Structure formats: C-alpha cells, structure tokens
C-alpha cells in the first residue's frame, strides 16, 4: 500500500480556501469523504487526495510522495487566509471487509471499500487493489495520474472527483471547456492484455502510437488511448492489447 500522509487544515477560512482551489465541492464533507484534485491554471493534474471533516478542521489524505509539494503549493495560495496546514499524527487504515467504527466509504467506487484514520499503524486488509482498480479503470497517483494528465481523460467525473456546479477553482475553465465544448479523443480505458509489459509501455497499432499501458491484473489493464486508433490486436512490447 502506498504510504500516505494525513494533513490537518484548520482556521476560519479553511472551507472557503479549499473551495476556491479544488475540483470537487467541499460542502460534500458533511456527507463523508470527498475525493478531489488540485490542478494547474492550465487544467493539468498536480495532486489528488481525499478530504474528511475533523471537527472544525479538515483532514487531507495524500500520497507521501506528493505531500511536501502539495503543502508548498497550498502555502502559495494561502496568502492572508486564516488557514494552518500541519502534519497530523494520524495514519490511514483501509480495506474491503468489515469496516471499523468511524470508517467512511471510498467515494470513487463501492468496490474500493472504506478508509479510516487513527493513531494506529497504517494498514489495509490485504485487498488486491490493483485488480479492483483495473476492473473499474480507477487511476493511481504516480502511475496513471501524472503531470500530463487531464482529470476528465482520467475518469474523474465517473469517480466523483469533480463538480461542475460548484463555481470557480484553479484549472476550472479548461476542465469546463473539455466537458461542455469538446468530445474527448483520448483517455483511460480498461483493455484486455495477453502477455505482460512493463508499466509505461507504449501501445502501437500498425506501427502508429496509440497510447500507453499502465497497471495490469488478471489479463486486463488500464491504458491511456487515442480513441480513433484503438482497436483489437494492438501491441505493447511482447503483449497484445485489445479494446
């Protein structure tokens, strides 16, 4: 399980601060976990994370590899807002079995189980997360989600990670234009894979680049594809890839 860092944001401006930055509606915290992302002004992915209400504060659950950069970026936007950003002493526990007290459903998909936060050790129940992610085309930070990603091509609408009614946030103009004024020509899809190929292997068809193959499990994989070139019988190193 990737290491996670749980940040605590507190102060009277915390909700409004987050609402003006992230892709999802912070008002949803009253109903449970919120899955969301921070984008560049050009609409590209910077980080994805979960938010949870914690009394008057908000917990932010992000992969450890991105935590320092995210704290720095949030600090740039904070200016004079009454918001403090600190490391908490909490860790993530997650699983798909019986949920402990205080656990909340993962908002991306019911099969992703529950997430809980406590001072206990970081842990999960041994679930094969890659198999679930591949089945439902759920991208992972640092694998399918990279600085070149656009969240709509990465399935954030289906994963409950973006709200089109909440108003402005960083990168909102580009995201809204992709939603309302264009048909997506590229994006993540679950594909059939016969054979194995390293994560990040280029997919080709008739010698032309079609996309990239990422996480694989049980004869399937998550691929980023050009839809106009995607078809059965594509190649990724020694593997055959089909839509």
In total, how many domains does the chain have?
A: 2
pLDDT reading at 1 higher than 60: no
The reply to whether 213 and 133 lie within a common domain is: no
The reply to whether 16 and 128 lie within a common domain is: yes
- pTM, entire model: 0.95
Domain-terminating residue out of 152, 180, 208 = 180
User: Residue 77's pLDDT is what?
Assistant: 95
pLDDT reading at 180 higher than 80: yes
The reply to whether 109 and 200 lie within a common domain is: no
Question: What region, left, alpha or beta, does residue 18 occupy, with left being phi > 0 and alpha being psi -120 to 50 degrees?
Answer: alpha
- On whether the CB atoms of residues 224 and 154 are closer than 8 A, the answer is no
The reply to whether 15 and 104 lie within a common domain is: yes
Percent of the chain with pLDDT over 90: 95
Distances from the Cα of 31 to the Cαs of 39, 104, 199, 231, in angstroms? Answer: 24, 10, 36, 41
Q: What is the mean pLDDT of residues 6-20?
A: 98
Residue-averaged pLDDT of the chain: 96
User: Residue 181's pLDDT is what?
Assistant: 80
Domain-terminating residue out of 161, 180, 199 = 180
pLDDT reading at 189 higher than 80: yes
Q: The domain spanning residue 25 has which CATH number? A: 3.30.1360.120
3-state per-residue secondary structure call for the chain: CCCEEEEEEECCCHHHHHHCCCCCCHHHHHHCCEEEEEECCCCEEEEEEEEEEECCEEEEEEEHHHHHHHHHHHHHHHCCCCCEEEECCCEEEEECCCCCCCCEECCCCHHHCEEEEECCCCEECCCCHHHHHHHHCCCCECCCECCCCECCCCCCCCCCCCCCCCCCCCCHHHHHHHHHCCCCCEEEEEEEEECCCCCCEEEEECCEEEEEEEEEECCEEEEEEECCCCCCCEEECCEEEEC
User: Residue 223's pLDDT is what?
Assistant: 98
* CB neighbours of residue 237 within 10 Å: 14
pLDDT digits (tens, 9 = 90+) for 24-82: 999 999 999 999 999 999 999 999 999 999 999 999 999 999 999 999 999 999 999 99
Q: What is the mean pLDDT of residues 209-236?
A: 97
User: Residue 83's pLDDT is what?
Assistant: 98
User: Residue 182's pLDDT is what?
Assistant: 77
User: Residue 2's pLDDT is what?
Assistant: 61
Domain that holds residue 10: 4-180
The reply to whether 149 and 199 lie within a common domain is: no
Q: How far apart are CA 158 and CA 188, in angstroms?
A: 12
Give 110's pLDDT tier (boundaries 50, 70, 90): very high
The reply to whether 43 and 143 lie within a common domain is: yes
User: Residue 183's pLDDT is what?
Assistant: 87
């Amino acid at each position: 399980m990737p290491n996670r860092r749980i940040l605590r944001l507190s102060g009277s401006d915390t909700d409004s601060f987050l609402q003006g930055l992230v892709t999802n509606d912070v008002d949803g915290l009253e109903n449970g976990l919120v899955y969301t992302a921070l984008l560049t002004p050009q609409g590209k992915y910077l980080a994805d994370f979960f938010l949870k209400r914690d009394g008057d504060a908000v917990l932010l659950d992000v992969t450890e590899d991105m935590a320092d950069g995210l704290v720095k970026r949030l600090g740039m936007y904070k200016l004079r807002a009454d918001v403090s950003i600190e490391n908490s002493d909490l860790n993530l526990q997650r699983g798909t079995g019986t949920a402990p007290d205080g656990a909340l459903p993962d908002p991306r998909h019911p099969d992703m189980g529950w997430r809980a936060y406590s001072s206990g050790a970081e842990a999960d129940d041994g679930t094969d997360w890659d198999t679930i992610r591949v089945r439902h085309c759920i991208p992972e930070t640092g694998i399918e989600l990279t600085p070149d990603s656009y969240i709509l091509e990465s399935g954030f609408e289906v994963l409950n990670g973006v709200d089109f009614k909440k108003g402005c946030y960083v990168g909102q103009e580009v995201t809204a234009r992709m939603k309302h004024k264009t048909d997506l020509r590229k994006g993540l899809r679950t594909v059939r894979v016969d054979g194995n190929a390293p994560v990040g292997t280029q997919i080709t068809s008739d010698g032309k680049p079609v996309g990239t193959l990422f996480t694989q499990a049980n004869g399937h994989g998550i691929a980023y594809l050009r839809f106009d070139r995607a078809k059965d019988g594509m190649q990724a190193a020694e593997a055959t890839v089909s839509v």
